[in-house]
């Protein structure tokens, strides 16, 4: 690094090739320019301006970065910060999925903004959060946990990354996690067959993809003809479509792990071939096009109301009114675990980025207490 001596201030060239300027103020303190300069002349001009301020007695110590952050925290409301957080939030370099943004906006609007929206960040303390949490969604434990977790995450960013608050006031242990209140009962093979038999012919494949390929509803309705290779028995999951307040949003799957190739079980291939008779012979044709001509923005997808009108009737015929479409995915995951699939294999098939859910399916598949006990008795008898 090279340094240049001057009557006032100092300029040095950094290893990056840019120039840093600094000077000693009337109070004896050393002050640096808030940023470096591409040209040495720009650094010199900045020092000339500081010297003029001192000569005219207009100079005052510049605010430190800590003071600037404190001023920002004193002025910024939680609503302002949360809206900015939601706009620029990323997960592993990718922006939040559209459905996640819609969900977070609803949670903020309904449960967080009424209490914290107009409060300054600096004024949100532990006692305020504790009192708010005490009355939060008492009859909806899952929503209560999600709401607390969202508030905690936003304030964590304000504390750890932006350093706008001295500490995160969300300190209630376990408040961001909810125990599953609904125990999912997976479907049996006969129940799946009944449901398929009751669905319109052009929608039967939705049941197959949801169960045997563990696809989500949002992934099924965005499948194009080019995404399913019948000959090689693979479905290529690349995109999904979700509907929010602003209409439909189509894009990449929620996470990188959601982009995956799912091997199709051979026994459902004949039914998938039959389904091709219902759609146009075009690579971009959707497997499940909309049932009406009503446009949804510039693109159209199968309306959930259209599908569920048939699905609810079909599941009632199977005497499974509790079986949500997403439960078919649980069913397929559990059957895959029964085959001996490893956690990594389940994660790849389901499109999960963490092993927790895959471990759950393995545990379900391994929950064969009666068979194990009987086998132990046979050993004892032998």
Task: Give catalytic residue positions.
Answer: 216, 326, 329, 352, 361
Task: Kindly give the residue spans of alpha helices, DSSP state H, lying in the chain.
Answer: 40-55, 65-75, 78-88, 98-107, 113-116, 126-134, 141-160, 189-198, 204-212, 217-220, 269-275, 304-317, 325-338, 343-350, 356-366, 369-381
By residue count, the chain amounts to: 382
**How far is it, in rounded angstroms, from Cα 233 to Cα 228?**
8
Token pair, residue 355, equals 């092993």
Q: With CA atoms as reference, report the closest residue to 147 among 178, 189, 192.
A: 178
Mind giving me the DSSP string for 131-153? HHHHTS-TT-HHHHHHHHHHHHH
Instruction: Find the helix packing angle between 356-366 and 343-350, rounded to 10°.
Output: 120
Token pair, residue 61, equals 């110590």
């Amino acid at each position: 690094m090279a340094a240049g001596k001057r009557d006032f201030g100092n300029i040095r060239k950094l290893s990056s090739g840019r120039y840093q300027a600094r000077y000693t103020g009337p109070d004896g303190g050393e002050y640096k320019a808030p940023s470096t300069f591409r040209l040495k002349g720009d650094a010199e001009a900045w020092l000339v301006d500081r010297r003029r301020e001192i000569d005219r007695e207009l100079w005052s110590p510049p605010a430190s970065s800590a003071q600037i952050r404190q001023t920002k925290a004193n002025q910024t409301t939680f609503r302002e910060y949360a809206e900015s957080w939601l706009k620029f939030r990323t997960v592993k370099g990718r922006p939040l999925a559209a459905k996640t943004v819609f969900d977070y906006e609803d949670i903020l609007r309904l449960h967080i903004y009424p209490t914290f929206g107009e409060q300054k960040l600096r004024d949100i303390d532990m006692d305020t959060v504790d009192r708010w949490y005490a009355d939060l969604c008492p009859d909806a434990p899952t929503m209560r946990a999600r709401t607390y977790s969202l508030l905690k995450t936003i304030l964590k960013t304000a504390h750890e990354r932006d350093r706008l608050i001295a500490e995160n006031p969300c300190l209630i242990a376990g408040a961001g996690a909810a125990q599953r209140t609904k125990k999912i009962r997976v479907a049996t093979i006969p129940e799946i067959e009944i449901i398929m038999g009751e669905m319109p012919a052009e929608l039967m494949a939705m049941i197959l993809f949801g169960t045997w390929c563990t696809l989500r509803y949002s992934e099924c309705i965005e499948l194009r003809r080019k995404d399913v290779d019948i000959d090689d028995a693979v479905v290529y999951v690349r995109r999904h479509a979700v509907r929010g307040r602003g209409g439909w949003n189509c894009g990449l799957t929620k996470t990188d792990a959601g982009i995956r190739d799912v091997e199709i079980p051979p026994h459902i291939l004949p039914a998938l071939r039959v389904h091709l008779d219902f759609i146009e012979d075009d690579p971009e044709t959707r497997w499940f096009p909309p049932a009406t001509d009503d446009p949804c923005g510039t693109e159209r997808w199968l309306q959930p109301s259209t599908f569920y009108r048939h699905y609810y009737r079909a599941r009632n015929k199977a005497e499974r009114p509790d079986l949500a479409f997403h439960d078919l995915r649980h069913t397929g995951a559990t059957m895959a675990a029964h085959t001996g699939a490893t956690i990594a294999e389940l994660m790849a098939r389901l499109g999960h980025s963490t092993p927790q859910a895959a471990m759950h399916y393995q545990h379900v598949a391994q929950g064969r207490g009666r068979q194990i006990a009987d086998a132990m008795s046979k050993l004892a008898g032998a």
